[in-house]
């Protein structure tokens, strides 16, 4: 009996020891740990918890983010003619009763010109102690009045110092002291999957709070291109894509890394609903660095120009030209008197390297050329008839005519913007003229506006010289000085030069 008691006692002791060992290994301790004693397994960044890193960004860089509100006074001419034909070629809902059309236009043509205010909202970030703010050009474009609200609620009048529509960047200035500043980072070293924070003022007026909104996410992709799908006058290439929430009003605000350094300027969202859907874009800050000083000085931003039309290679072209791979671009057209023509580049040449850097596709070449200083000479490595050649090209300045030709529009002259008259426009507005240029925009308070020209007018002659196309139009106005007598489908108008 005594032996049985001893046996069961030893078994009990051994069982307790084994149980304690198992509990210790599997962390089944019955003692409840306090919050401070628990091991922190949350993501970290340079020794900081991710949460703390984002909080730090909000408390530092976030203070330098501002809200930008704009006002623009637009003018609508009261004497405008109305056309009831459908733009899709359908019949007018009022039929072909010309008496009704005359009555309607006679009635409304007596209405006076009306002005109305357009308002806009965006964001910006203070980058200089003297009050210089970096933002998007489209945020402040055509603004008659700019109001900047700091994160602490102070308001200041903003002044545009420099703007560039192609890069969609602008610098505005406020007269203020004791300003919080944000540091510019390096966007060339960004990596897909890297954490970033977007800061801005979406729906700022609705929220009634000057403090910026902070959203976190990752770099979803790099070197994205929207081309000219968003705007024909802006060139959205080499963008940063992020899933950090970007909404209307965020434009111009910074995209920053977890150190609080600016790595991009938020510019656009891709959305089917107009709201956030997880795909936002930002301009790399290194693109801004190259032109900030010129914007502050109010200087024109110059872009390099090669003067070629190029295309990406495919398998069939690689085989036809006897190439080893698809890296490179094929020259399909050389513009007359362009830097490329002067350097000896020819159609069907394949550009493999530009300025000692490999060229893999059209996007890379266009981006590289645009960044080169005008007047600088660079080496271009090409393959011509299966032979490698190296040519030297002096980079030229991208002509304004190239931009206008890409849009099919002739830029504003005395407040006028015109376009070639085509069959679609003629049918839409029931225009009988077969030749001429159509006015598509008239700047408010311009010489053309004061003369009485309106969108939809067809310009037939300038100073008795026929203007049958935008090409004729440009030649006539190129060296035109003094007053200009404009003959339109509605009659003659005199554009004074002062």
Residue 67 is a catalytic residue: no
Residue 332 is a catalytic residue: no
Catalytic residue chosen out of the listed positions 69, 123, 251, 338: 251
* Phi (first) and psi of residue 404, to 5 degrees: -70, -40
Q: How far apart are CA 347 and CA 334, in angstroms?
A: 6
Q: Which residue in this structure is represented by tokens 């060992």? A: 21
Residue 355 is a catalytic residue: no
Catalytic residue chosen out of the listed positions 164, 168, 355, 449: 168
Catalytic residue chosen out of the listed positions 67, 101, 138, 287: 138
Q: How far apart are CA 367 and CA 286, in angstroms?
A: 13
Q: Which residue in this structure is represented by tokens 């032109």? A: 291
User: In this structure, what is the dihedral angle of CA atoms 415, 418, 424, 428, given to the nearest 10 degrees?
Assistant: 20
The answer to whether 245 and 280 have CB atoms below 8 angstroms apart is yes
Alpha-carbon Rg of the chain, whole angstroms? 32
Q: How many CB atoms lie within 10 A of CB 405?
A: 13
Pairing, β 262-269 against β 213-224: unpaired
What amino acid positions are annotated as catalytic residues? 138, 168, 251
């Amino acid at each position: 009996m005594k032996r049985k008691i001893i046996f069961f006692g030893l078994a009990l002791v051994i069982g307790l020891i084994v149980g304690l060992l198992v509990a210790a290994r599997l962390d089944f301790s019955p003692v409840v740990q306090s919050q401070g004693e628990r091991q922190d397994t949350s993501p970290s960044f340079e020794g900081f918890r991710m949460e703390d890193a984002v909080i730090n960004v909000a408390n530092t860089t976030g203070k330098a983010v501002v809200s930008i509100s704009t006002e623009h006074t637009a003018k609508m001419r009261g004497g405008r003619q109305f056309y009831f034909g459908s733009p899709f070629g359908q019949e007018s809902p009022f039929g072909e009763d010309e008496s009704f059309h005359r009555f309607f236009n006679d009635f409304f043509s007596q209405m006076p010109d009306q002005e109305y205010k357009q308002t806009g909202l965006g964001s910006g970030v203070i980058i200089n102690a003297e009050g210089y703010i970096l933002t998007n050009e489209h945020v402040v474009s055509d603004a008659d009045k700019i109001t900047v609200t700091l994160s602490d609620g102070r308001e200041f009048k903003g002044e545009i110092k420099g703007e560039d529509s192609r890069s969609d960047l602008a610098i505005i200035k406020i007269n203020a002291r004791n300003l919080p500043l944000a540091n510019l980072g390096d966007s060339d070293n960004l990596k897909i999957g890297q954490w970033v924070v977007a800061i801005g003022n979406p729906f700022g007026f609705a929220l009634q709070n000057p403090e910026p909104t902070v959203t976190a996410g990752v770099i979803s992709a790099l070197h994205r291109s929207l081309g000219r799908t968003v705007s024909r006058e802006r060139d959205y290439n080499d963008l940063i894509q992020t899933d950090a929430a970007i909404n209307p009003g965020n434009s111009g605000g910074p995209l920053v890394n977890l150190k609080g350094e600016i790595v991009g300027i938020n510019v656009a969202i891709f959305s089917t609903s107009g709201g956030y859907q997880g795909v936002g874009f930002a301009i790399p800050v290194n693109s801004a660095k190259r032109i900030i000083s010129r914007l502050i000085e109010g200087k024109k931003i110059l872009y390099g120009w090669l003067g070629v039309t190029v295309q990406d290679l495919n398998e069939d072209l690689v085989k036809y030209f006897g190439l080893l791979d698809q890296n490179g671009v094929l020259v399909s057209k050389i513009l007359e008197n362009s830097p490329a023509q002067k350097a000896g580049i020819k159609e069907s040449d394949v550009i493999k390297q530009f300025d000692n850097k490999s060229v893999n596709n059209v996007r890379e070449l266009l981006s590289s050329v645009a960044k080169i200083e005008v007047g600088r000479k660079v080496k271009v490595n090409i393959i011509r008839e299966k032979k490698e050649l190296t040519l030297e090209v002096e980079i030229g300045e991208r002509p304004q005519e190239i931009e206008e030709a890409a849009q099919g529009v002739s830029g504003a002259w005395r407040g006028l913007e015109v376009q070639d008259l085509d069959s679609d426009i003629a049918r839409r507005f029931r225009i009988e003229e077969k030749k001429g240029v159509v006015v598509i925009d008239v700047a408010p308070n311009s010489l053309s506006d004061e003369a009485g020209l309106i969108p939809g007018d067809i310009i037939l002659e300038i100073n008795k010289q026929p203007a049958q196309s935008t090409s004729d139009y440009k030649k006539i106005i190129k060296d035109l000085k003094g007053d200009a007598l404009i003959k339109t489908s509605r009659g003659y108008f005199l554009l004074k030069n002062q």
